[in-house]
Structure 1
């Protein structure tokens, strides 16, 4: 019986990629907190997960049948966040406290996905080695 590594790992590798993309967007918001006119952005995690799960994007041609296929994933669509506070006059909609909280939550969820993935890999290693 053939073992599918993708099925064995589940959704966790895609979740890590989606969390990484969201961390990048939130970090960009924090970096531009003092930039006049900058609008805070975010990505919808479910949309990001769907984007990396589909592995949409450009597919590189293989020169040999035993070469691995490589797909370059498209980045999830960024959305503008609605601010909770009124405009301060410079047009910037980044709320540092909100961004920090979102970044920390995303980091914790990234760590959880990483732990789930690690547990899956350890389980597969155990199964392959006969439980030793």
Structure 2
């Protein structure tokens, strides 16, 4: 009944935000690298729906991830932004970085609130 606690959900979300932060940092670091293709984090529900949409025959292998993290890092091969074949849009990456930082801070505060509740229940608060 209580297989996913609020703290477990927050932990999964924090892990996803951290993976997103790493992908954005790689993209920013490689903004001038020729032929570099941007990385992005997709969540498994989106990934699974895409895989199912591209599966043309039921006898084809089902390439589902065995990872229970809830997200995967993929390479975005769509288009190019620069003449050197690189597709990193620095304005988009900086915007995503700021948005992800706010999400991570909110999730960290939610985790802190959960620990404070545990502390109160266990009699640690006066």
Partner of 1:89: 83
Q: What does 1:29-44 correspond to in 2, within 5 Å?
A: 29-44=27-42
5+ residue gaps, structure 2 = 46-65
5+ residue gaps, structure 1 = 49-54, 58-72
What is the CA distance between 1:89 and its match in structure 2?
1.7
Q: What does 1:1-132 correspond to in 2, within 5 Å?
A: 7=5, 9-44=7-42, 46-47=43-44, 56=67, 76-80=72-76, 82=78, 87-129=81-123, 132=126
Distance 1:24-1:120 versus aligned 2 partners, 3 A rule: same
Secondary structure class of the residue paired with 2:72: coil
Q: Would you identify which runs of 4 or more consecutive aligned residues in structure 1 move more than 3 Å?
A: none
TM-score by length of 1: 0.67
TM-score by length of 2: 0.70
What is the CA distance between 1:40 and its match in structure 2?
1.2
What is the CA distance between 1:76 and its match in structure 2?
1.8
Q: How many residues align?
A: 106
